[in-house]
Structure 1
Amino acid sequence: MAAKKLHSHPVIVMAIIINVFVLGLAVAWSGPDLTKLWRLLGEDGIVEWMQFLCFAVLSGMLGFATVQRWRQSRRFSLELLALGGLTALVALAALEEISWFQRILQIQSPEFFLQNNKQSETNLHNLAVGSESLHKAVLLKIIALVGLTHNLVLPLLARVKPGVRRWVEDLGLYLPPLGASIVYLVLVALSHALIEHPRKGELGEMFGAVHYLATVFAAYFTGYNYGKPALFENKADACRLSALFAMQLAFLLMVAWMLSAGAGAMSS
């Protein structure tokens, strides 16, 4: 299903709607009183829970795709290795996002993390690297470079040289639709320009989590903007599944909102 029109895939449309809604919420809640904005961006806030839920679902989807590809070929390949590696990487991101359930289970951090973690939490991305955390000093730069390359540079090159897309897909990866990527990158830029808050970077991370959840589903499961066989090759089945998954995305935002209310978003 090598579709060209952005509005033809309901999951990508829903992802854009969710990201625009959250940015609008952040703008509306900005002002002298940052109480509501902390509810959105703080620890155990709406945005953090949405990131976790998207990463958790995405890891499950990639794991499912890995198993299905293995059943089809019964041999190791670059595609299988890429899907399996991404499954583990995204699962790690999900667990890191909520500090491995530490705050939920109310577990005290070991001495090592109390001394070496910027937030005294049991996670790796906030480990101290000089005066900064590993996340700010290293990971954000890598994420920005990979994100721009995957969402802008390679899709633009693929329009001129179709072999670029084939090369990426032969590695077991995919290229997001350029239109969806541009919207995602513009929203990240707007979040930095319009929001004044010490945790405004969380918005861009959530936008990325929602964007990748939608585009991974669209590519691997329905074949949207993807040259290799999709997991659901029947067009009617893919369309019905896409409609259901679009509703699931909206449901994830509602669950994130409810979880933030139950946990109580921290203001520092």
Structure 2
Amino acid sequence: MPELSKPATSSRKINKIEIAMLTIVFALVIAGIVICFVNKQWFEDVYTSEDGFIENFTVFPLSVAVVTAIVYLVKLASKRSWMFILCMSVAALFGFFVAGEEISWGQRIFHVESSEFFLENNAQHETNLHNMVVDGEKVNKIVFTWLLGLTVALYLFLLPWLYAKKPGVKRFIDWAGIPVPHRVQIIAAIALFVCIGIIPSSKNSELLELGISSIFLLILLYPQNVAVFRTDKA
């Protein structure tokens, strides 16, 4: 595993793009907290409604993340490892999949009727997987909440610790092209989880998805090991 000529560093200041994006996200989350306590029905029926502003806005950071991963592939594939190519491909596919799920793969945009299978097995009768019901439980709760939640927790907290403390792990992560969350992004994620926990509604998940998607984009754009993703550091 060849090392990069210049090691990544976490000693950087938050930049204007991060400030702008986090400001927008937390403004929407805090607004959601206030709205939910003042008028819970409006929060659920309008603010976080299906095909509403929050859900549609979530597609933006996911789409930018897909483009970012593809740009990394185009610019760096010949200079990085096969694992880098795999990781960026997975990131692009993951962003594309989640964005597609958010808008039910364009079903409502193009006015496409759900098939009989989805009408019978989807909690919202939509063409997507995260609202599927299996043995009375929504897939969203089983996979997208618990499993993904555990993965996010390990990624945000365990990975940065290993990267900082274990030189061998650090070399592997850089070689593999795994973007490591920066402390600013970790703090933002913790603040997001706290804020979401304050909202007394199951629809708080819509704001959580927006926040996590935005932080995912920021990690991809400005990871702790940023040198791995820059052509001038090859």
TM, length-normalised to structure 2: 0.87
1:108 aligns with 2:130: no
Q: Which residue of structure 2 lines up, in the alignment, with residue 56 of structure 1?
A: 63
**What is the percentage of aligned positions where both structures have the same residue?**
24
User: In structure 2, do the counterparts of structure 1 residues 232 and 48 end up closer, same or farther at CA, with 3 Å as the change threshold?
Assistant: farther
Conserved in 2, the CA contact under 8 Å of 1:125 and 1:135? Answer: yes
Deviation at 1:160, TM superposition (A): 2.3
Q: Counterpart of 2:136 in structure 1: which amino acid?
A: S
SS at match of 1:64: helix
What aligned pairs does 1:168-207 form with structure 2 within 5 A after superposition? 168-192=173-197, 194-207=198-211
- In structure 2, runs of 5+ residues without a counterpart are 1-7
User: In structure 2, do the counterparts of structure 1 residues 5 and 65 end up closer, same or farther at CA, with 3 Å as the change threshold?
Assistant: closer
Deviations 1:194-226 (A, max 9, x none): 21122111211111101111221123xxxx543
Q: Counterpart of 1:44 in structure 2: which amino acid?
A: D
Which stretch shifts more, 178-187 or 89-98? 178-187
- In structure 1, runs of 5+ residues without a counterpart are 234-268
Q: Counterpart of 1:29 in structure 2: which amino acid?
A: I
Conserved in 1, the CA contact under 8 Å of 2:62 and 2:95? Answer: yes
Which stretch shifts more, 165-174 or 101-110? 165-174
Distance 1:115 1:76 in 2: 45
Q: Which residue of structure 1 lines up, in the alignment, with residue 228 of structure 2?
A: 228
Q: Counterpart of 1:228 in structure 2: which amino acid?
A: V
Q: Which residue of structure 1 lines up, in the alignment, with residue 34 of structure 2?
A: 28
Deviations 1:133-183 (A, max 9, x none): 111112221211111111111112323224333222222211010232122
Distance 1:229 1:125 in 2: 31
Q: Which residue of structure 1 lines up, in the alignment, with residue 47 of structure 2?
A: 40
User: In structure 2, do the counterparts of structure 1 residues 232 and 59 end up closer, same or farther at CA, with 3 Å as the change threshold?
Assistant: farther
Q: Which residue of structure 1 lines up, in the alignment, with residue 5 of structure 2?
A: none
Distance 2:71 2:193 in 1: 29
Distance 2:25 2:99 in 1: 19
Which stretch shifts more, 16-25 or 93-102? 16-25
Q: Which residue of structure 1 lines up, in the alignment, with residue 20 of structure 2?
A: 14
Distance 2:96 2:74 in 1: 16
Deviation at 1:82, TM superposition (A): 1.4
Deviation at 1:114, TM superposition (A): 0.3
1:123 aligns with 2:133: no
Q: Which residue of structure 2 lines up, in the alignment, with residue 261 of structure 1?
A: none
Deviation at 1:22, TM superposition (A): 1.3
Q: Counterpart of 2:228 in structure 1: which amino acid?
A: K
